[in-house]
Amino acid sequence: MDRFPPASRKRRREPVNVDVKLVEIYEDLANENDEIRLKAAQRLVSRFTPDQNPTNEQIEKTIQRLFRGLCSGRKAARIGFSIALTETLSQVFSSSRDPSTSSLSVSRVIEIWEAQSSPGGAVSGQEERDHHFGRLFGAEAIIKSSVLFQPQVPFEEWTKILTTLFELAKKKPWLREECGWIIFCSLRDIQNHKFDIKYAEAALDSLCENGLTKSPEGVAIWITAKDLFPTMKFPEGEWQHGSPLHVREKATLAKIMKETSESQSEPGKENSKAQNSGVWNPKLHFAWDIVLQKLYAQSPAQNGSSKDKHLKPTQASFTDIWTEVVDNGLFAAASSEERKYWGFLLFTKTVNEAPPHLAGLVLTKNLMRCFINQLAVEDRYLHRIATKALRSIQARVGREPEFIVAAVSGLMGPTGAVNFDQITKTKTVEKMISAATADSLKAIVPLFEHMIAQPGIDDAKSAASARQQLTGHLLSIVKTQTSVVNTAASGELHSSIESVLFLLARFGYFIPDESTTSIKQLLLPEPPIIAQELFRNRMMSCLNTVISGRNSPAAIPYAVVRKIHDKDAQGDWGKFVIEMSEDIKESVSSAFKTLKKLTHKEKRAEKKEGTSIQALKLLYSMTILQVYNGDADAVSMLDELKLCYSKFLGSKSERDEADEASDALVEILLSFASKQSQLFRRMSEQVFGAFADQVTANGLQSMIDVLEAKDTLAGQEEMFENQEIDSDVEMVDGETSDDDDDDDVEEISQGSSGEDDNDKSEAESENSESEEEDDGELEAFEAKLASALGTHRADKDLDAASSDSEDASMDDDEMEALDDQIAKVFRARSQVHSKKKEKKDARETMLNFKNRVLDLLEIYVKKCHSSILALDLLMPLLQLTRKSKAKQIASRASNVLREYTKHCKGAASIPAIESAEPVWELLKSVHQEATHSAPAAHASSCSQASLLLVKILVAHDKESLSDIVDVYGETRKKQLTSRKCHVQPSFFSDWNNWCVSASKQIKG
């Protein structure tokens, strides 16, 4: 025998019987795929059905393995093993199984659980955590299996589980919420399965014994037990008034739900102190669900303030709890960012889930202050969660349009900010009110009316800014609702638009006073005159939107002026801001009588006559509105409109009288068109379109005179007869430039896209000329100033310094004389600048006026291209195309002419003439015009005009074709022989093309 044993080698393992399938099941129970875990649990549980007749050893070994698996942090082991354990225990201890077949008891299961979930020995921190989680999940599995509540199971086993859970909750505060959740779920299981109430009583007793009553978990468990077991005997002395939701427990509840340490202890109770969780959880505690659901279940009457004298002050209302716990608790000024984060989570949850009558109550003071601050700056700590909360409001409005009233009231009301959109740099309110329904607007408009009257700001300037924001939102409402009304007629939406305009009219034209009976509140602070101008201009912008593209554009403007007239007579809205003499009042009253007649005629008029009535009704309404705006000329317009009504729609009259009325109508429309206002532009276009076929030669000449006027101050004075130019310029605060898009002011610089380069070069040349003028003015100014001071410019006199030193000091009289001389120099310079600005404004006014006249002429040539009068426009338009220094005006004139010739296609569409002589003269004039040097557009326009006249002459007499050829030949001869002739080759190319196409028809 060898002295030393052979070299060591691994001991051979004893052969054992390994169940490979069971190993696979355990492996699958830890899989992260839900479906795989569930199938594995089903396969394991199927091994312990009565027909499989498992042995006690197999059962105990499997349960031991499952408890051990709960202590594993591998993959999803705890979830899979917990499900398998719950179902296995339910199967093993089911009532259908014969107790004699198994000696395994519930007590033995609990012993295994305790043994497997005890860390034991020196273990790492992670291993200790895993075993604590294993104990927690094991207790949950045992309770869920309901084996503890079977009659044969000793009651002490239930109390043992409770004791272990509460000890774990106190020992490891970061597991307290999970322990409380298990107890909470057990109460529901006890009630659902009708188990003995003593189990619930034991849970409450254990909760109180361990000092966890006044914790979030304790609140949830207590409220749930009260609901599920109303007859159960509750421990006394825990809640002084019997419930955490009692109105007198608000302060205590606030501390508990904030999880502050002082709420967890009471003097004289050692066991009543419980530690905080110690770890901040970014999710809401489950206790909030219980508290909120309890408050949601209250009737609307109960959810008012508990201070209501008609209600018994026992149960706190939703408003009480929200204000105390959330607004004054989580959103207190001294509250941490983490608690405010919980507050936003709670806010989002409530907005999404609460009944409509409660969801609107959550926009409270402290919450809104924090909400606005966090939304305003992107890099703030809670900006993202605040943005998510904001989206929840928008989502709720999208689901339930009626919620918009509560949302707007909260965001812009006393607790929020009138300029919420501006502060937060969002368009939240604008988007919401744009999507408002007719029913919602019935509540929103009065809300805005109240906020305009009393914005809650003492400073007049800030109040004006707030009112500007509010009126901007009202304009958005009108714009959106007008598009809806235009696509689908709706009486309710029509009424909503009217209500907005009535609101603006009330604040724009009336000053409420204490004697005003129908106004519930005065305007605080009272808006100055400039603010009333804002209301009026907003109303005009709204009307501009309303009348465009509508079948009955006069309906709403008429309703507005009638409302103003009625309220002035009744005095319901206060004192009318415009002082009117008796003569003006009589003219307005007469105009309303005419409007009433027009309304009656409209009801029984045919379509064509109805259009004219609508146009005249619109013109009457807008003219009356101008009277209310203080326009002196508008009063005389009313008298002229009366003539138009009597001649166009009154009794039959002579033709010359109708012509007189037509000319008066054109003058009125030109007066409106001259104003830099989109509203009056649209109105004049609509009215002109209705009466275009009644325009006379004098009326056309009035428009041509505007086109031929100079774009200068002299031209303006000549055109407007030295009257003050009026415009609807909307006053916009420099700080709120977002509303610029809503102005009713026409922009002069809007040009055609095809003229950008020309406009740029023209602007550059004008700028260079302006700079040269400025340089000259500056030199002259400096020379005068130097003369007054008796000095020289340094660059003009190199000896200036030395000469200055020789100056003697001046006495007082000389100083006064010098001051007068300097003042004169600066006054002269100021007058120069004022004159320059006046010239610039005059040019812009004339360009705007010509643009508007060209708009009217474009309407005329579309509707009356077959009228012989339209030929009178050819030469003025051609000359304007050539002579105008403003490229935009030249381009517009060319476009109008092109539009005219485009509509004159076919024999039926061209003017029919009685005498050809005037047309021959006009053709020669066009050819003479074509010889001038001008832009390419001018040559094209001359060619189009010439060919139109050729068509008219040929249609009148085919024999005139040879004479037409002679006219073109004469022009060709000038091109070849005269240096002053600058006719373009395209002029003859177009003629040749026409000859080719026309020859087939003429020969045929």
The DSSP result for 288-320, as a single string, is HHHHHHHHHTS-TTTTS-TT-TTS-SSBPPHHH
Helix (H) or strand (E) holding 558: helix 555-570
789 belongs to a structural domain: no
- pLDDT score, position 229: 94
Which residue's entry shows tokens 């104003």?
675
With contact defined as beta carbons under 8 Å apart, do 545 and 482 qualify?
A: yes
Last residue of a domain, one of 406, 428, 450: 428
Give the three-state DSSP class for 31.
coil
Q: Do 501 and 471 touch, CB atoms closer than 8 A?
A: no
What DSSP character marks residue 713?
A: H
Q: Which amino acid is at 935?
A: P
Where is pLDDT greater, at 963 or 829?
963
Per-residue pLDDT at 813? 64
% of the chain at pLDDT higher than 70: 79
Residue 261: band (very low, low, confident or very high) from pLDDT cuts 50, 70, 90:
very low
Would you say residue 447 lies in a domain? no
Q: Is 593 exposed, middle or buried (0-12, 13-18, 19+ CB in 10 A)?
A: exposed
**Least confident segment among 450-454, 549-553, 592-596, 901-905:** 549-553
Q: In this predicted structure, what is the pLDDT of residue 462?
A: 85
Side chain identity at residue 799, one-letter code: D
Dist CA 753 CA 741 (whole Å): 20
Q: What is the mean pLDDT of residues 969-986?
A: 93
Among 107-121, 748-762, 815-829, whose mean pLDDT is lowest?
A: 748-762
- Let me know if residue 362 belongs to a domain: yes
> What would the pLDDT profile of 46-60 be if each residue is shown by its tens digit?
988 878 888 888 899
**Per-residue confidence band for 344, with pLDDT thresholds at 50, 70 and 90:** very high
Helix (H/G/I), strand (E/B), else coil: 512: coil
In a domain, 111, yes or no: no
Based on C-alpha coordinates, what's the Rg of the chain? Answer: 45
Q: Report the domain count for the chain.
A: 2
Domain's final residue, options 380, 398, 428: 428
pLDDT for 553 equals: 85
pLDDT at 304 (0 to 100):
56
How many Å apart are CA 713 and CA 360, to the nearest integer?
A: 59
- % residues pLDDT > 90 (the chain): 49
Tell me whether residue 395 is exposed, middle or buried, using C-beta atoms within 10 angstroms of its C-beta: 0 to 12, 13 to 18, 19 or more. Answer: middle
Q: C-alpha distances in angstroms, 278 versus 178, 208, 337, 791?
A: 14, 21, 16, 82
Which one has a higher pLDDT value, 836 or 762? 836
Domain containing 415: what range?
331-428
List the single range of 10-19, 212-221, 284-293, 917-926 with lowest mean pLDDT: 10-19
Give the whole-angstrom CA distance, residue 617 versus residue 687. Answer: 9
pLDDT at 385 over 60: yes
Under DSSP, the state recorded for 246 is B
What are the DSSP calls for 147-216, one per residue?
Answer: GGGSTTS-HHHHHHHHHHHHHHHHH-GGGHHHHHHHHHHHHHHHHHTT--THHHHHHHHHHHHTT-TTSH
Length of the chain: 1004
Which pair of structure tokens corresponds to residue 275?
Answer: 């530690």
Task: List the Cα angle 799/802/807 in 5-degree steps.
Answer: 120
Confidence label for 776 from pLDDT (cuts 50, 70 and 90): low
In the predicted model, what is the mean pLDDT of residues 772-786? 57
Query: Average of pLDDT values for 343-365?
Result: 94
366, 398, 428: which is the final residue of a domain?
A: 428
Name the residue with tokens 């004054």: 328
Query: Would you place residue 984 in the very low, low, confident or very high pLDDT band (cuts 50, 70, 90)?
Result: very high
Distance CA 385, CA 370 (A): 12
**Nearest in space to 144 (alpha carbons), one of 212, 193, 201:** 193
Whose tokens are 């020379």? That residue is 783
Mean pLDDT over residues 905-918, rounded? Answer: 87
Does residue 743 carry a pLDDT above 60? Answer: no
909: Cα separation from own chain's centroid = 48
Give the Cα separation of 876 and 861 in Å (integer): 14
Give mean pLDDT, residues 842-860.
92
Torsion angle, CA of 282/285/289/290, rounded to 10 degrees? -170
Instruction: Say if residue 798's pLDDT is above 80.
Output: no
pLDDT at 731 over 50: no
Give the pLDDT confidence of 638-690 residue by residue, as tens digits: 888 888 888 777 665 444 567 788 888 899 999 888 888 888 888 999 899 98
Residue 679 to residue 663: CA distance in whole angstroms: 22
Indicate whether 439 pLDDT > 90.
Answer: no
Spatial separation of the C-alpha atoms in residues 68 and 134, rounded to whole Å: 8
307-341 pLDDT, tens digit each: 544 445 588 899 999 999 999 999 999 999 999 99
The yes-or-no verdict on residue 756 having pLDDT over 50 is no
Comparing C-alpha atoms, which of 854, 725, 836, 839 is closest to residue 776? 836
For 696, the token pair is: 């006379």
Q: How far apart are CA 484 and CA 491, in angstroms?
A: 11
What average pLDDT does the segment 503-520 reach?
75
pLDDT tens for 702-729 read: 999 999 998 888 878 877 763 444 433 3
- Rounded mean pLDDT of 378-383? 94
Question: Does a cis peptide bond (omega within 30 degrees of 0) precede residue 525?
Answer: yes
Give yes or no for residue 487 having a pLDDT over 80.
no
Q: Is 998 exposed, middle or buried (0-12, 13-18, 19+ CB in 10 A)?
A: middle
Average model confidence (pLDDT) for the chain?
82
d(CA 174, CA 285): 12
Structure tokens at 938: 């001018």
Rounded to whole angstroms, the Cα distance separating 776 from 472 reads 45
Per-residue pLDDT, 791: 56
Q: Is residue 909 part of a domain?
A: yes
Nearest to 991 by CA among 971, 975, 968: 968
112 belongs to a structural domain: no
CB 598 within 8 A of CB 613: yes
575 — phi, psi (to 5°)?
-85, 135
Identify the pLDDT of residue 7.
41
Distance CA 62, CA 79 (A): 16
Q: Is the pLDDT of residue 766 over 80?
A: no
Tell me what pLDDT residue 55 has. Answer: 85
Residue 92 belongs to a domain: no
**What pLDDT, on the 0 to 100 scale, is given for residue 676?**
83
What is the pLDDT confidence band of residue 499, given thresholds at 50, 70 and 90? very high
Q: How far apart are CA 446 and CA 452, in angstroms?
A: 10
Q: How far apart are CA 534 and CA 538, in angstroms?
A: 6
- Tell me how far CA of residue 204 lies from CA of 213, 784, 978, in angstroms: 8, 99, 116
Q: What is the pLDDT of residue 877?
A: 96
HSE, side-chain direction, 13 A CA sphere, residue 146: 17
Show the DSSP H helices in 864-960 as ranges: 874-883, 887-903, 917-930, 936-956
Residue 412 has pLDDT above 50, yes or no: yes
Q: Which residue from 513, 514, 547, 509 is spatially nearest to 531, judged by alpha carbons?
A: 509
Give the DSSP H or E segment for 476: helix 460-487
Environment class of 240 (CB within 10 Å of its CB; exposed 0-12, middle 13-18, buried 19+): exposed
At residue 740, the pLDDT reads 44
Instruction: Convert 879-913 to b/e letters by CB count within 10 Å (16 or more is b).
Output: bbbbebebbbbbbbbbbbbbebbebbeeeeebbeb
Q: Would 449 be classed as within a structural domain?
A: no
Helix (H) or strand (E) holding 514: none
206 near 166, Cβ under 8 Å?
A: yes
**What is the mean predicted confidence (pLDDT) over 856-864?**
94
